[in-house]
Amino acid sequence: MNVQLPTLPDIHDAAARIAPHAVVTPVLRHAALDALAGAELHFKCENLQRGGAFKFRGACNAVWSLTEDEARCGVVTHSSGNHGNALAMAAVTRGIAAHVVVPEGAVRAKLAAIEQAGATIHRCAATQAAREAKAAEVQQATGAVMVHPYANTRVMAGQGTAVLELLRQSEELDAIIMPVGGGGLLSGCAIAAHSLKPAIEMFGAEPAGAADAADSLARGARIEHFTPDTICDGLRALVGEPNLAALREHRVKVITVSDDETIAAMKLLWQHLKLTVEVSSATVFAAILQQRERFAGRRVGLVLTGGNVDLDALPW
C-alpha cells in the first residue's frame, strides 16, 4: 500500500479546512484520577466531537480535499462504525453521497448512526479481505472515491489536528497516549506532536487480544493476518502499512491491556469525569494505571477517542 505520510503543513492545512465543521473538543482534568495514576492527566475528549468520535476530523478533511470532479460521485469506505458515520456526516456537509461497507457483527448503535447520517450501507462478511473486496466493488459500480479509514494521507492529516489542539490546550505535556487500531490517529498525531515538540513521548494503547501493532513493532515486520479477540470493537483492525511505518519512525511505544483492565478504566472515567466513553477509548487510562511507574509524576495527554456506546450492551 503506497500511501504518503502527511507533513506538519498538511496537518495545519487540514485544521483550517475542517475548522468550519469540526468541534474544538475540551480537555478535562480530575484530581482523583491524577491520584490513582500518580501523574498529571489531561483527557482530550474526542467523544464530544461531531459524530461522537475523532474520526470526523479525518473524514471531513478527506471530503473537503476532493476536487469538484472527484466529489461528484461521492465517497466510499469500509467501517465497523465510527469512520463510516464520520464519512457520512462529512459528505452531508458537502452535499455528496456516501457509501459505507459494514461487516457483520458491527455494534448496533454505530450501525444506526451510519444509517441516520444518510449513508447507503453495503453489508459484507466480518473479515478485512471481505471489507476491502466489497468496497472495491462499490467503488467500481458508483465511481465514488475511496476514503480508507486509516491508510489515507488526508485522513491521517485530519486526525493529526487533535494533537495540534491538545498541545495548545495543555502546553507542557511530557507524553501523549491514544488507542491504536488501524493507526490513522496515532500516526497523524505522532507526526504533528514530534514536529512541534521533538522530545515528547508518544504511546499507543492496544487490547492484548488485538495486539498486532505491538507485535509488529517488536518483530520489525507487519503481521499480515490475525484474529482479534477483544471487546474493543473499534481496535480490531490490522494496523496499516503506512501507519506502522510512521509509528516506527516516531519511536511510538505500544502498551497492551486486557479487556478486564479496560472495562475497569471505563468505569472509573464514568465515575469521576462523568463521561460515557467507548471501551476502546478506555484503553489509554487502563495503560496508565497498568504502568504507573513509567508515568509517575509526568504530565500526560490521553485522547478519549469516542463515545458511541450501546447503552443496552454495556460491558459490565
User: Is residue 107 pLDDT above 80, yes or no?
Assistant: no
Q: What is the number of alpha carbons within 13 Å of residue 273 lying toward its C-beta?
A: 27
Q: Is 80 a catalytic residue?
A: yes
Which of 302, 310, 311, 307 shows the shortest CA–CA distance to 283? Answer: 302
Which of 189, 158, 171 shows the shortest CA–CA distance to 63? Answer: 158
d(CA 266, CA 180): 17
Predicted local confidence at residue 94, as pLDDT = 97
Predicted local confidence at residue 113, as pLDDT = 85
Percent of the chain with pLDDT over 90: 84
Predicted local confidence at residue 218, as pLDDT = 96
Cβ proximity of 39 and 300 under 8 Å: yes
CATH (residue range 8-54+152-313): 3.40.50.1100
**Phi, psi for 259 (deg, rounded to 5):** -60, -35
Q: Across residues 135-158, what is the average pLDDT?
A: 96
**Phi, psi for 128 (deg, rounded to 5):** -60, -40
User: Is residue 105 pLDDT above 90, yes or no?
Assistant: no
Cβ proximity of 237 and 150 under 8 Å: yes
User: Is residue 138 pLDDT above 90, yes or no?
Assistant: yes
CATH (residue range 56-146): 3.40.50.1100
Predicted local confidence at residue 295, as pLDDT = 98
Predicted local confidence at residue 1, as pLDDT = 60
DSSP-based three-state secondary structure for 36: helix
C-alpha cell at 146: 475511496
Q: Across residues 202-206, what is the average pLDDT?
A: 98
Catalytic entry in 44, 65, 79, 80? 80
d(CA 180, CA 208): 12
pTM (global) more than 0.85: yes
User: Is residue 222 pLDDT above 80, yes or no?
Assistant: yes
Centre a 10 Å sphere on the Cβ of residue 204 and count the other Cβ atoms it contains. Answer: 29
Q: Provide the pLDDT confidence category of residue 184 given band limits of 50, 70 and 90.
A: very high
User: Is residue 211 pLDDT above 70, yes or no?
Assistant: yes
Q: Express each pLDDT in 168-182 by its tens digit.
A: 999 999 999 999 999
d(CA 44, CA 27): 4
Mean pLDDT of the chain: 95
Instruction: Classify the phi-psi angles of 105: left when phi > 0, otherwise alpha if psi is within -120 to 50, otherwise beta.
Output: left
Predicted local confidence at residue 127, as pLDDT = 81
* DSSP H stretches of helix in 205-258: 212-219, 241-249
Predicted local confidence at residue 220, as pLDDT = 94
C-alpha cell at 193: 506532536
C-alpha cell at 15: 485544521
Q: Express each pLDDT in 292-313 by its tens digit.
A: 999 999 999 999 999 988 888 8
DSSP helix, strand, coil percent of the chain (3-state; round to 5): 50, 15, 35
For residue 53, list its beta bridge partners: 306
Q: Is 55 a catalytic residue?
A: yes
Domain ranges of the chain: 8-54+152-313, 56-146
